[in-house]
Structure 1
Amino acid sequence: FRDMVMKKMQHMKSLNWRERQRARMELEAVEKTGFGPYFQVVHDVVCFARREGILYNLKGSGASSFLAYLLGISHINPVDFGLYFARFLNQGRKDPPDFDLDFDSRYRDRVLEYVMEKYGKGKTGAAFVCSLKNYRARSAVYETARAFGRPPAESRALSKKVPYFAEPDYLRKHQAPPGCKEIWGAASELTSVYGETSLHVGGVLLTPPPVSRYLPLEKSAKGLIMCHFDRDAVEDLKLIKLDLLSVRGLAAVSGAKKELNIKNIPWDDEKSFLLLSRAQTIGCFQVESPAMMNLLSRMKPADISELTQALALIRPGPTQSGAKQAVLKAREGRSSANNPFLSRIIPETGGLLLYEEQVMQVAERVAGMSSEQGDSLRRALKKKSPYPALKDKFFQGAQKRGYTRTETAKIWDHMEQFSSYSFNKAHSVSYACMAYQSVYLKAHHPLPYLKAVLNSGGGYYRLPVYIEEAKRLGIKILPPDVARSDYRFTVENSCIRVGLLSIKRLKTSTAKKIIGERQRGPYLSLDDFLIRVSVTRAELFSLVKSGALDSLEPRRAEQVLNGYKGGRGTGKVPDIDEPRKERMLIDSLGFDPLGDALSLFKGKRPVLRVKDLENRAGQIVELMVRVMDARRKKVRQGLTYFFLFSDETGMIEGVGTKKCVSFGSPPACYVQGRIRRSENGRVKIFNCTFLSLHE
């Protein structure tokens, strides 16, 4: 391992003295703890990914390691971001470190196959970690009722007497319905046991051979070797594991970069940060949720450091503790840092402890503690475990450095208050850098980037949201066409053409036949197509409804008639009207590529458009919209629905307590509610109520 590191250092002539010193310090720590072979295994895995052209991203505390950066395991230089190696590995840590790697979702399984092939059968044992799932209260009632011989319908009805978000102890605290006491009691016991084991999404256990010497093993449903222990149990046993995860956001970034042949991206691009400050980030990795867009429009990040802060602040902890509001108020100049001593030590967050590494930084600067001691203090504060010896050491060290006991007590109180909600800065930096790349691609290359987003399956939202975002940016969406479409979305004359695999009920094998036959020669007519490609009746109807046969026979009623007659029909019937065509198109794809669905209902009721709402705060309005996203969350007041609405002029968020009445996919309806302006200046519609478009 030492030879590998020294060779890398010799090749990298641009390393400065701080980086060389950091590399030597880390090398010494890795050798003392015996984790050199672990670094070598991870290095081998990422080398395989690079050879295969698979994009990866190291997240978590592993990004704090300069050796990981030197060996190409990480893409970020921890020295540039002030990251502490001791947060990842030090001699005082009792549990082993682990690297968490995200991979392009399209090719992650190839990486897993490589790891299991090389290390599962070779000199190092390897097995997948399992996930243990326990029963929720509602599912426990259903399974118990079925075990007691109740019919499925009756079991479902009984389970629905339990609230959807009920805690596991709900059954113990609430009385059973009449005649169900025995089922209720048995179900309450079931919530405390694990219902099934399944394969972990990407956890791989690495041990000396054989793995069965350390853990019991079994084969998963797919025939993969899996241990009986979950990730927490593996960590408790001090065994080494490697997380190899699949991320669709990386597939979008990788797809666009490969198509554009982009190797390097500037980290100070003005257009990218303008997009972030305007929160126009739908389709961008980690920064597209409504909550994140609200935060971005308020923070207006101007560099990677501020984007890193945003990704740390968006978590529930900083919101619940008040840290999020405190940081935002300090940024907006509405409050000063509540501890002048900390504001000098950690000025980037106004003296507030947002990152776990800042606890270590304060321990080092205020009390003269080592990085290892600072990490021990961070862990103790995080877990709220007893730490009298560490507290005494902190106070004694601070006193030696000239701090009074009162000043030290204020700093300590601040650390106790916020450290339990602080976040791993290395993780935030890693995600911020990947998020920035996606924003850069959207800002400068929206067409290929959004095509890549669509082909990756999207991210936070369902596919229709990204279709609407593309149209908002002026990108025309073309319907599928057997004469032009590929399997997936493609760029065609500055437009995005829908792929054949987007058509519901069309088999992959049929799409393959359509494209394969087309490569032998273009389809000359509908008759020619039906002779050359064998399709089922259901597939033919789907092709007709999606408009994929329009280039061969634009009169869809004749398409259906000819299809019934095996391609030999000559009958003439009236064509299908436009409203029905639009409904058929949406039904066959699950989204509206043309954007004409709402226009079919215009004029039925007087409604406003999204772009007209900017100056209507406080007013009750009515819109005709598509419901692009709807999420149900449990809040103090009960169940609340959070919506994302769109029309041809833009998108707006909505909040309500009722489901929407709608038709189509994505659903379309009338929505009524009161417009309010939030702290970040964005307008939203509250108290949403819905009416069908047919009312």
Structure 2
Amino acid sequence: MYLNCHTYYSLRYGTIKPERLLAIASKNGLQTLALTDINTTSACLDVVRLSSKYKVKPVLGVDFRNGAQQQFILIAKNNNGFQNINAYLSQFLHDSELKIPEQAPELNNTFVVYPYVHNKPYSLKSNEFLGIKPQDLNKLKFSKWNAFRGKLVVLQTVSFENKKGFNTHRLLRAIDNNTLLSKLSKSEQGQETDMMLPYDELCKTYKEFPELLKNTASLLEHCHIEFDFSQETPNNQKTFTLSEDSDFQLLEKLTYEGIPYRYQNPDDIIYSRIEKELDIIKQKGFVSYFLINWRILEYARSKGYFYVGRGSGANSIVAYLLRITDVDPIELDLYFERFINLFRKNPPDFDIDFSWTDRDDITQFIFKNFKNTALLTVYNTFKFRASVRELGKVFGLPKSEMDVLVKGKYRIKDLDKLSQLVIKYSSYIQGFPNYLGIHASGIIISERPIHYYTATFMPPKGFPTTQFDMVVAEDIGLYKFDILSQRGLGKIKDTLEVVKYNHPEKTPIDIHDIKRFKQDERIKYLLRNAKAIGCFYVESPAMRMLLKKLQVDNYLGLVAASSVIRPGVARSGMMREYILRYRYPERRKDAHPVLLNIMPETYGVMVYQEDVIKVAHLFGGLSLGEADRLRRGMSGKFRSREEFLAVKQQFFDNCKHAGKPESLTAEIWRQIESFAGYAFAKGHSASYAVESYQSLFLKAYFPLEYMVATINNFGGFYRTELYVHEARMHGGTIEPPCINHSFNEAIIQHNTIYLGFMFLQSLETRTIKKLVAERQKKGLYKSLDDFIDRVPISMEQIAILIKINAFRFTGVNKRELLWEAHLKISKVVLEESTITLFKMDRINYKTPQLPSTLLENAFDQIELLGFPLCNPFKLVSNPQKSELRAKNLIIYKNKVITIDGYLITTKHTVTSSNKHMYFGTFLDRDGDFIDTVHFPPVAAKFPFRGPGIYKIMGKVLEEFDCVNIEVISLFKLAVIEDPRYSEVTKPVEA
């Protein structure tokens, strides 16, 4: 009887979760329900999937509205009608200027319901009806439509469950309209009665109009929607060559053709693995999936794009031979069943990383070459702190009060009533969808039109995007293609270009020669000593310390480290145990014999996601399908689902029946649960390690060129400043931007690195383009006058260039240059320089001698670049006398010392007792790292106070050859007075 039901996917309007809507319907005795969210079909497939659980027949449609103004409701008779509705809705979601008309379109296999307005003329077609709300019944008695009850249906809207839901609805509407709750217009909100009534009560409400109940029941009876959630067969594009047989022949041909590139002497192990994989791929219907990935990457290689195929797809030798991945699953003993197995219903996916500069072209290629394609959405939800601010504005709280609430520094009973309401409803709407975004990488290529499943919207990227997320896509059998971007690949690509122009004699470089890299002594040295700043995945403080502790210098050790570093392994307490067993073989005997037998390579420690499957299967007695479902359930997406909980119970039951000690079972489950959602697949770690080796090779042999590429790709884990420092540590001479040498990006000339103009804050892109283009066209600039004659520029823009000393080639002090520029540049900027027949001599004004110092340069660099190019310790107002350096700390093990450090980065974490602590990374005067730990009492008493140099007092600790300082006190040192603003400027050199 309900034709107009909303979930909270009616964004900033509805307040009911999809499953809760079904539960309410079941509780109220309903057998059928029409889900008609406002301008969206986000919840439709999930409601259909869950409907059988509540024994409610689902009907799908859309409530078409302009803002809060309802125009009409379209209800699908069947799947074809649903597709038509999705296609129609998408027109408006693709073009924001289009308004939904008052008159519904003529769409096959749909019903139309118009909201009844008294005395408004209607001309209804055979599939169109008037919806009569309970409050309209009295007016209906005096309307001409009372005589045409055959065209009338019940229209009891459902937007919220109860009074609290209505209050939440009003708050959401106020947020949506950016207005105070007290000023929210009635036209922008629903009726307080827009709730679901029990079936009998609804019938009682319309008892004087039984025809309406009959018509509504008849309409719903004529609607039937079906989707297959069994996932027995994928719903992606079925074929690549228009024939499944020819698809398989092509896949088989490409696989065997790829053997010579990967293996010099293939043996029976390789051939039998290929046969097994091809057979499973064919049985599971994933042939076209492999071929589509192959085609995408064939295009990428033809364009010279660098990419990395990672994830569990690296477990496939077919993927390796098709060059989808660069990880040899035979070498690493990766079993294919982790990626695809006959028990697994969930679709597999490849994660393909591209350089951030190449990804958009790859996406364009996919949309151009494959018919039914769309990006996947992601539901951006209300977060508690953001909600506090939004609701604070709605209630009219001043900013100072909102700041207190956001920081959580209050006792709820001490708050006034409005503040309490803000906290109460912020908690309630936390997790509600707020708006639809774009999944970081997911693309689906469907056999059916995308609108068969969902409407699409058009975000700024310009590609149609679904209204459901990746979880729903998997439920319906649409496995995604993950096209990601990362700057690590951009650094590798750009480094090769930099080497080409700075050391042409050393090119070309085969960056894919991973087998050679694995034996390279320079790379082993960098790994063993954790000298990997700038290198993909191995440069963070945590990874740097782990490499030192493990003393890793080989590929397999790095693969393990890539997974051990993940939070789950540390939380389970097994990271430390792994380090002990790795370094001290005698420690391995402490491992439980069962686990050591299952995981000999990692000494009985669960390191990879595959280990969850191994332990669940071999220890917990689960089938491979059940074990993989358990592993996937740990990821968080399915953690609350009943099928996952049933597998968990099966694990314990099997162990109990097998007579395993309860304490051992509980401990192994604790290890599984604490890390499985964070650990990598072994193939994923191996893929990361391949990219790490590529970047380590470039760092080992071309450190300056690699740092230039790193700087131009906006770094990695750290700020640009550290990579500039790293270049200096490798013998580079760092120069600020120069109008005669620099470009937009940083460049290198032999060992001299000129920073690019793009690093100058507030320097406009058009200024940079004009400056560089003019220089390339007519040669170097000879003087300030020559520059002003040739480049139209404002005083504000040229001041930036002068302050950064970009005119230092002139030999004129920059203070004098600023005076000259002020006198010679008009406040009005010409678009182009005016060409005259005769060159006009500029009047040369005599400017006073205004010396500047290196210290002034440093402060100008801090202002314009964000950091100084000199040693920052030279800017301390009262230099400390301590000569202690990071390299000498080990001498003072277990002793309290004081050392000065320049703050590089901090990491915040929360203890098990919910207290805040930090890890710090500093540089000493020589540029070497100092690592610190700040436990909660110290972190609270001596907080970090932004970038700068700190006096660190603490106890020197050492574990596994890794030294850090347990901080006792921390004080930020004062810097010298900014000489640019001092009363008397003395030409003191820094």
User: TM-score normalised to the size of structure 1?
Assistant: 0.89
| CA positional deviation for 1:2 | 2.1
User: Aligned partners of 1:380 and 1:591: how far apart in 2?
Assistant: 46
Distance 1:157 1:661 in 2: 24
C-alpha deviation, 1:394, in angstroms: 8.8
Quote the Cα distance in structure 2 between the aligned partners of 1:679 and 1:68: 41
Matching of residue 682 in structure 1 with residue 940 in structure 2: no
Question: For each residue in 1:85-117, what CA deviation from the matched residue of structure 2 results, as whole angstroms up to 9, or x when unmatched?
Answer: 111112211211111111112211111122122
Does the CA contact (< 8 Å) of 1:363 and 1:394 recur in 2? no
Aligned residue identity for 2:773 = G
The equivalent of 2:404 in structure 1 is: 160
Letter of the 1:630 counterpart: T
Deviation at 1:445, TM superposition (A): 1.8
Q: Is residue 819 of structure 2 the alignment partner of residue 561 of structure 1?
A: yes
- Give the Cα–Cα distance (whole angstroms) in 2 for the partners of residues 362 and 135 of structure 1: 38
After superposition, where does 1:397-436 map in structure 2 within 5 Å? 416-420=669-673, 421-422=675-676, 423=679, 424-436=681-693
- Answering whether residue 473 of structure 2 is matched by residue 234 of structure 1, we say yes
CA displacement at 1:309 relative to structure 2:
1.0
- The offset of 1:619, in angstroms, is 4.6
Q: What is aligned with 1:596?
A: 871
Q: 5+ unaligned residues in a row in structure 1: which ranges? A: 397-404
1:541 equivalent to 2:822? Answer: no
Distance 1:157 1:216, change over 3 A: same
2:603 aligned with 1:343, yes or no? no
CA, structure 1 residues 511+134, in 2 after alignment: closer, same or farther (shift >3 Å)? Answer: same
1:693 aligns with: 974
Q: Match of 2:13?
A: none
Q: Which stretch shifts more, 600-609 or 217-226?
A: 600-609
Identity among equivalent positions (%) equals 27
Counterparts of 2:656 and 2:462 in 1: how far apart (Å)? 56
Summarize the Cα distance change of 1:451–1:674 in structure 2 as closer, same or farther, 3 Å threshold: same
Q: Distance in 1 between matches of 2:621 and 2:330?
A: 20
Q: 3-state DSSP class of the match of 2:369?
A: helix
SS in 2 for 1:160: helix
Q: Whole-Å Cα distance in 2 between the matches of residues 638 and 537 of structure 1?
A: 51
CA contact (8 A) 1:450 1:470 kept: yes
Are 2:924 and 2:930, in contact at CA under 8 Å, matched by a contact in 1? Answer: no
Matched pairs, number: 670
Secondary structure in structure 2 of the residue aligned to 1:281: coil
Q: What residue identity is the alignment partner of 2:593?
A: P
Alignment check: 8 A CA contact 1:505 1:538 kept: no
**CA pair 376-641 structure 1, distance change in 2 beyond 3 A:** closer
Q: By how many angstroms is 1:66 displaced? A: 1.2
Q: Does 1:574 align with 2:850?
A: yes
Q: CA deviation at 1:324?
A: 0.9
Distance in 1 separating the partners of 2:692 and 2:414: 49
The alpha carbon displacement at 1:313 in A equals 0.8
Q: 2:382 matched to which residue of 1?
A: 135
- Structure 1 residue 188 displacement after superposition: 2.7
Closer, same or farther in 2 for the Cα pair 1:27/1:369, shift >3 Å?
farther
5 Å-filtered alignment, 1:189-588, equals 189-258=428-497, 259=499, 260-263=507-510, 264-265=513-514, 266=516, 267-333=518-584, 335=587, 336-361=589-614, 375=628, 385-387=645-647, 416-420=669-673, 421-422=675-676, 423=679, 424-519=681-776, 520-566=778-824, 568=842, 569-588=845-864
**Alpha-carbon distance in 2 for matches of 1:132, 1:175:** 35
> 2:251 & 2:522 partners in 1: Cα distance?
38
Say if 2:893 is the partner of 1:630: no
Alignment of 1:668 onto 2:668: no
Q: In the alignment, which residue of structure 1 is the partner of 2:931?
A: 653
Secondary structure, in 3 states, of the residue corresponding to 2:324?
Answer: coil
1:50 offset after TM fit, Å? 0.9
Q: CA deviation at 1:176?
A: 4.0
Q: Structure 1 pair 600/338, CA: closer, same or farther in 2 (3 Å)?
A: closer
1-structure distance, mates of 2:899, 2:877: 11
Deviation per CA, 1:389-413, whole angstroms, max 9, x where unpaired?
Answer: 67888999xxxxxxxx668999967
Contact 1:477 1:495 (C-alpha < 8 Å) held by counterparts:
yes
Secondary structure at 1:491 match in 2: strand
Structure 2 CA distance for aligned equivalents of residues 642 and 341 of structure 1: 37
1:602-622 Cα shifts (integer Å, max 9, x gaps): 764323453453423445544
CA offset at residue 322 of structure 1? 1.5
Match of 1:61 among 303, 307, 312: 312
Paired residues of 2:893 and 2:958 also in contact (CA < 8 A): no
SS of alignment partner, residue 691 of structure 2: helix
**SS of the residue aligned with 2:921?**
strand
Corresponding residue for residue 400 of structure 1: none
1:547–1:585 CA contact under 8 A, matched in 2: no
Q: 1:348 to 1:411 in 2, by over 3 A?
A: farther
* Aligned residues of 2:616 and 2:651 also touching (Cα < 8 A): no
Could you tell me which runs of 5 or more consecutive residues in structure 2 were left unpaired when the two chains were aligned: 1-246, 500-506, 826-841, 977-990
Q: What do the CA deviations read for 1:44-92 (whole angstroms, capped 9, x no partner)?
A: 1111211111111112111111111111111111111111111111221
Q: Is the 8 A contact 2:878 2:974 kept in 1?
A: no
- Higher RCO, Cα 8 Å, sep 6+: 1
Moved more, 89-98 or 183-192: 183-192
Deviations 1:514-572 (A, max 9, x none): 11111121111111011111222221121112111111343101110111122654423
2:394 is the counterpart of 1:147: yes
Change (3 A) 1:417 1:596: closer
User: Residue 18 of structure 2 corresponds to which residue in structure 1?
Assistant: none
**Deviation of residue 187 (structure 1)?**
2.4
Deviation at 1:575, TM superposition (A): 1.7
1:209: Cα distance to partner? Answer: 3.9
**Following TM superposition, by how much is the alpha carbon of 1:286 offset from its aligned partner in structure 2, in angstroms?**
0.7
Instruction: Give the C-alpha shift of residue 180 in structure 1.
Output: 2.4
**What whole-Å deviation, never above 9, does each CA across 1:174-206 have from its counterpart, x for those lacking one?**
764454233333323221412222122221122
Change (3 A) 1:368 1:505: closer
Choose 1 or 2 for highest CA Rg. Answer: 2
Which structure 2 residues correspond to residues 41-60 of structure 1 after superposition, within 5 A? 41-60=292-311
Q: 1:409 to 1:672 in 2, by over 3 A?
A: closer
- Quick check: 2:488–2:536 contact (8 Å CA) kept in 1? yes
Q: Shift in Å at residue 364 of structure 1? A: 7.7
TM-score (norm 2): 0.63
Give the Cα–Cα distance (whole angstroms) in 1 for the partners of residues 651 and 390 of structure 2: 49
CA contact (8 A) 2:389 2:406 kept: no
Any conservation in 1 of the 2:901–2:930 contact (CA below 8 Å)? no
Q: Displacement of 1:350 after TM fit? A: 0.9
**Secondary structure at 1:451's aligned position in 2?**
helix
Correspondence for 2:916 among 639, 647, 665 = 639
- Is this contact kept in 2: 1:614–1:683, CA < 8 A? yes
- Residue 148 of structure 1 deviates from its aligned partner by 2.6
